[in-house]
């Protein structure tokens, strides 16, 4: 086979090649070293001035000021004024920190402000976090702390939290690195103390807390996109948690007693000195010291500098939750039947009955939906095929439907 003739000039600048000049040959052309250096400079300048994917996501971030953010939360979340105020400030500062860069000329670097929410079930902890993520249009995922165990034990590794966040961000790493992770029931991984001894290793308590530390602080983590233990052959995705906001929540049962003991007062106090420290108000004094007493390790408490509480919902708040938010439960059911051309209404007595049952069952706002479902199931089954186009839920109908569903459940 004949030897391929080499080009003796540069196809870019056209200059002839001297013995001292390097000529780089391609398939059908050649480029001299001077042109190659110039091309490299042009490419470097292009990428230098071009916004990175991370910068693009930063430009898309909707930074909402605290007052505006709280006002928007008010449209979806009833009550919890103090919690919404604290969270609005923390979220604003967190994303302002990301947009402003890592440090100023004096070397001042703003640290992360992860948040921990304390409150009974059904008080709106998850709703607040989910609504904030929706308003800011950022990836959001929920992780249940009770399923985590130390590496090597049956359960999930803490890194699986980031797998869920990646999925929520459609596997866009840069977008996921600015998302929100909601860790629910963090109180369930409190370490076992002297009053709760165990002869087995505490693999879902203190060990899990230790594993969470690096994620909360900010670290580069190798994340299995499909979950680590079931797909060991997959390639890892590198995720930096430095700008991920972690919001943890828990009921922390008996926390009021811990606070009362620290403040050297009874949970219900009527003397002049402690009159304001009754059961309804004492949660406002919660601190990292109380979380430590409950069973969270000091290192974990330190990584949640923002601590706030959510009050138990009273009758008035539950009534408002039914009717006032943009996505209020009653509005949802009215719209559901409206899609079938059916007009639905609830009498005030029926609404009062629903609220009373939610208080009786102690399920908070979360219990409202299950009660309405029991009342509405037969109607939603029959109404679409009915010729009747107007239905009213009164007290008698609500009582009959709810009590019959409970009776059926007890006898099943």
246 vs 257: CA distance, rounded Å: 27
At 52-63, the pLDDT tens digits run 555 555 556 778
Q: What is the model's pLDDT at position 61?
A: 73
86 vs 74: CA distance, rounded Å: 13
**CB contact set of 366 (below 8 Å; sequence gap of 6+):** 121, 122
Give the HSE-up count for residue 400: Cα atoms under 13 Å, Cβ half-sphere.
Answer: 7
Q: Which of 228, 226, 291, 231 is nearest to 259 (CA)?
A: 291
Q: Record the tokens describing residue 20, joined without a space.
A: 């001292």
pTM score: 0.74
Q: Which of 303, 299, 393 is nearest to 350 (CA)?
A: 393
Q: What is the model's pLDDT at position 255?
A: 87
For tokens 């219990």, what's the residue? 367
For tokens 């706030």, what's the residue? 308
Which mean pLDDT values do the consecutive 10-residue runs of the chain (412 residues) have?
55 80 80 86 71 55 87 90 92 87 65 88 88 90 83 66 90 90 90 50 69 87 69 75 92 86 62 51 85 91 91 88 90 93 94 92 85 92 90 93 66 42
Burial class of residue 60, CB neighbours in 10 A (0-12, 13-18, 19+): exposed
Q: What is the model's pLDDT at position 60?
A: 66
Phi-psi region of 411 (alpha: psi -120 to 50; beta: other; left: phi over 0): alpha
Q: Which of 98, 102, 232 is nearest to 174 (CA)?
A: 98
Q: Which of 245, 240, 241, 219 is nearest to 96 (CA)?
A: 245
178 close to 98: Cβ distance less than 8 angstroms: yes
């Amino acid at each position: 086979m004949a030897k391929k003739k080499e080009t003796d000039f540069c196809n870019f600048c056209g200059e002839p090649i001297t013995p001292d000049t390097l000529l780089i040959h391609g398939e059908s052309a050649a480029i001299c070293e001077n042109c190659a250096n110039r091309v490299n400079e042009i490419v470097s300048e292009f990428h230098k001035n071009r916004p990175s994917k991370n910068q693009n996501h930063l430009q898309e971030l909707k930074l909402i000021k605290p007052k505006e953010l709280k006002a928007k939360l008010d449209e979806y979340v009833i009550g919890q004024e103090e919690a919404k105020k604290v969270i609005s400030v923390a979220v604003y500062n967190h994303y302002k920190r990301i947009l402003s860069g890592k440090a100023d000329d004096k070397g001042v670097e703003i640290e992360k402000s992860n948040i921990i929410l304390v409150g009974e079930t059904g008080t709106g902890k998850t709703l607040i976090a989910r609504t904030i993520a929706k308003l800011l249009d950022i990836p959001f995922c929920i992780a249940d702390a009770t399923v985590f165990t130390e590496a090597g034990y049956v359960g999930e590794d803490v890194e699986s939290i980031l797998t869920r966040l990646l999925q929520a961000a459609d596997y866009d790493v840069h977008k996921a690195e600015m998302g929100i992770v909601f860790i629910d029931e963090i109180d369930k991984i409190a370490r076992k103390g002297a009053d709760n001894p165990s002869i087995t290793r505490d693999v879902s308590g203190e060990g899990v807390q230790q594993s969470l530390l690096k994620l909360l602080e900010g670290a580069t983590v190798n994340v299995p996109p499909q979950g680590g233990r079931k797909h060991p052959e997959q390639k890892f995705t590198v995720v930096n948690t430095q700008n991920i906001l972690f919001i943890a929540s828990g009921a922390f049962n008996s926390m009021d007693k811990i606070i009362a003991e620290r403040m050297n007062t009874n949970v219900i106090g009527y003397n002049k000195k402690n009159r304001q420290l009754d059961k309804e108000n004492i949660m406002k004094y919660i601190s990292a010291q109380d979380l430590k007493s409950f069973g969270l390790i000091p290192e974990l408490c330190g990584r949640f500098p923002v601590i706030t509480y959510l009050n138990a919902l009273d009758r008035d708040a539950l009534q408002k939750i039914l009717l006032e938010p943009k996505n209020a439960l009653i509005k949802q059911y009215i719209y559901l039947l409206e899609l079938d051309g059916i007009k639905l209404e609830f009498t005030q007595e029926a609404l009062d009955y629903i609220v009373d049952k939610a208080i009786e069952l102690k399920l908070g706002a979360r219990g409202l939906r299950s009660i309405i479902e029991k009342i509405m199931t037969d109607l939603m089954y029959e109404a679409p095929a009915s010729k009747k186009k107007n239905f009213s839920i009164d007290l008698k109908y609500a009582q009959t439907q709810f009590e019959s569903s409970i009776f059926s459940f007890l006898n099943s």
